[in-house]
Chain A
């Protein structure tokens, strides 16, 4: 939680993180929120159906099924494309149920024909570009069960490794000082 004291009339965001580990059945977690309101404490409920083979879900298949926008070095990674395949025999409409507008923008097809594959894209916002995070977004399709799919989105920023400079005997003193090679400088001073 970003703040633990909420003034009268205000709202605060409570983010629940669920690690799916190797669970392979539908499960519900009910975290308890303890406040100064007193008992009975309120609970929220989250339900998820972890799948061992996310490349064979129904009626949609996402490829890749995890989005990783991690950045190594200075080359900025600001978007990622992915495929959504409708493996059912009916056209399906897709609706975004939950997302993170502050971190990314989603470009999803409104509908996918039966047996068709469409491209989708997630583009990081300025805030998303500057932060490391592990979040997710959820979509729902209009099949009989109103099936939902949640895609994990990860970004970690790894700084570029400092360039290794090997000592060069022909280099002048100013350059050696810049690479921190003080040993040879001392020799030179003598």
Chain B
């Protein structure tokens, strides 16, 4: 009787450890990801000495928040 109680406790501990491992692994493996649908744009002819603009859309497709640190002019 006592032996079976010990076995049951061990099962619960093992199950608990498994859950903890899965949660930790899940949080460690969660990764941000970025997709850009159209990553190039051609303005064509433009006048000199003017400012023109184009918007790209960045989509967060991973399983963690995507953070844009900075944009470096190319």
Chain A interface residues toward B at CB < 8 A: 1, 4-24, 29-37, 42-52, 54, 57, 65-66, 98, 134-136, 138, 140, 147-150, 152, 154
| CB < 8 Å A-B pair total | 198
22 A–B contacts, CB within 8 A, in A order = A5-B67, A6-B60, A6-B68, A7-B65, A10-B60, A14-B55, A14-B56, A21-B49, A34-B69, A37-B31, A37-B66, A46-B54, A47-B43, A49-B44, A49-B45, A50-B46, A54-B47, A57-B45, A134-B51, A138-B44, A147-B44, A150-B46
Contact yes or no, A152 B69, CB < 8 A? no
Contact yes or no, B74 A35, CB < 8 A? no
- 5 cross-chain pairs, A with B, having the tightest CB-CB distances, nearest first: A148-B44, A30-B74, A136-B52, A152-B50, A45-B40
**Beyond known contacts A135-B52, A152-B46: 18 more, CB 8 A cutoff:** A5-B65, A6-B68, A8-B65, A18-B43, A18-B53, A32-B72, A33-B71, A35-B69, A37-B32, A43-B39, A46-B43, A47-B42, A48-B43, A49-B44, A134-B51, A150-B52, A152-B50, A152-B51
Determine the chain B residues whose CB is within 8 A of the CB of A6 once the complex forms.
Answer: 58-60, 65-68
State A17–B29 Cα separation when bound (angstroms).
36
Report how many residues on chain B are interfacial, defined by Cβ distance under 8 Å.
41
Determine the residue in chain B with the shortest Cβ distance to A8: B60
Assuming A20-B52, A54-B45, A149-B45, is B72 touching A34 (CB within 8 A)?
A: yes
Contact yes or no, B50 A66, CB < 8 A? yes
Q: How far is the CB of A34 from chain B (nearest CB, A)?
A: 4
State A140–B45 Cα separation when bound (angstroms).
10
Q: Is the interface of B mostly helix, strand, loop or mixed?
A: strand
Contact yes or no, A46 B65, CB < 8 A? no
Contact yes or no, A35 B34, CB < 8 A? yes
B9 at the binding interface (Cβ < 8 Å): no
Determine the chain A residues whose CB is within 8 A of the CB of B67 once the complex forms.
Answer: 4-6, 35-36
Contact yes or no, A34 B70, CB < 8 A? yes
B12 at the binding interface (Cβ < 8 Å): no
Contact yes or no, B73 A29, CB < 8 A? yes
Contact yes or no, B62 A42, CB < 8 A? no
Determine the chain B residues whose CB is within 8 A of the CB of A45 once the complex forms.
Answer: 39-41
Q: How far is the CB of A52 from chain B (nearest CB, A)?
A: 6
Q: How far is the CB of B9 from chain A (nearest CB, A)?
A: 39
B48 at the binding interface (Cβ < 8 Å): yes
